[in-house]
A and B are shown apart, each in its own frame.
Chain A
Amino acid sequence: MKQHNTERLSALADGELKGLSRWLAQRHVRHCPQCAAELQRVERVRQTLAACPPIIEMSDSADFFWSKVKRDITTREPQTVFIPVPRLSLADWLLVHRGALATATSGLMVALLTGVMLQQPHSAGPGTVLVERVDTVIPNTVATPLKGAESDVAVIWVSGLEWTADLDEMKQRFENSET
């Protein structure tokens, strides 16, 4: 509440401001003596009215009042009147249900993100591939996968050979070791 929005002070006193708007209004009141005084005046009016609520009881007894209503209903021309059910405007409806809407939106976002993450392919950790077949002409050698996913395995380390990342050179070394 950057300016002295005194209308919002009434809403603040009534507990009608929620969340950020309440926090902003309270913060403004703490730093603005003018609005703090106005809020006090609003509170005083509310307290004065609350201290003396009207004492109201219908003098007609329940039966007598109902008999009068029933008489009116039966004596009048039977007619159907349309009185719309009171509704809030869309803007007010959104305002009233903003908490529920925020929760629903957050839930939807979490569900969407989880779905997207579940759709992505798994990447296997290093050294966890199962090598089903190793072709080697060297007797008594042990083959070890060097890269993570099975599809990525390009080089099989043959024990006894010095490691190099260059596949061609590795082949060359292998051929040399054979000879």
Chain B
Amino acid sequence: MEAYGELVNRYRHRVYALALGMVRNEQDATDLSQETFVKGWQAIRGFKKNASFYTWLYRITTNLCIDHVRRRDRRPTVEFEEAMDPDADADVEIPPSNQPLPTDEVRRRELREFIEAALEKLSPEHRLVVQLREFDGLDYAAIAKAVGCSMGTVMSRLHYARKHLQKLLQKVL
């Protein structure tokens, strides 16, 4: 089991980053990362050595995250918020700031928040492919394996996600 501990230590940040990108909540992302590694342990015997362990872990993480997001989005409060949002595709508002932007760091932080808000408006499937491509740098084949779809679907989802992001990020592009 200690050898598995080494793997957990090696991949925990990447798994956590993917989970956080999907669920946008630190506690949920930590819990999902933990659940990923527990499931990984339970299924490790079925894992073949010639496959990529990382892609396999990503598959577990993405399945858990998408389930989590769908469950969360079914909650009434979220539905109410969605229903009250008359124009969900409208530009994301830049978080208001009383002070002028003093440094590049603050500007970057605001831009990051702006981007995160835009990403949150994407569907879980679209957010996932953007996350895997733009932040993890996976190629289409690896994304297709991690998500469990064809490369054509990856290309299509990325395209529509970017089209959506073009609208949402209009103010900063």
Contacts and interface: CB of A to CB of B under 8 A. Distances in A.
A76 interface: yes
Interface residues of B, number: 62
B93 interface: no
A45 B38 contact: no
Main DSSP-derived SS at the B contact region? helix
Interface in A50-79: 50-60, 62, 65-66, 68-70, 72-73, 76, 79
Given A45-B169, A65-B8, A81 B34 contact: no
Contact of B30 (A58, A83, A89, A96): A58
Given A52-B112, A54-B20, A65-B8, A16 B140 contact: yes
A161 interface: no
Contact of A88 (B20, B30, B144, B166): B144
Given A10-B159, A80-B42, A92-B141, A52 B111 contact: yes
Given A45-B169, A80-B43, A86-B59, A50 B134 contact: yes
B145 interface: yes
Contacts of A70: 1, 5
A85 B17 contact: no
B48 interface: yes
A82 B43 contact: yes
Contact of B1 (A9, A57, A73): A73
Contacts of A87: 145
Given A56-B16, A65-B8, A80-B45, A96 B141 contact: yes
Interface in B31-90: 33-35, 37-43, 45-48, 51-52, 55-56, 58-60
* Residue among A6, A11, A45, A76 having the largest count of chain B Cβ atoms under 10 Å: A45
A7 B30 contact: no
A95 interface: yes
A41 to B, nearest CB: 5
Contacts, number: 147
Given A10-B158, A48-B169, A58-B33, A85 B56 contact: yes
A57 B139 contact: no
A147 to B, nearest CB: 63
B134 A49 contact: yes
Nearest to B38: A72
B96 to A, nearest CB: 19
B162 interface: yes
A57 B56 contact: no
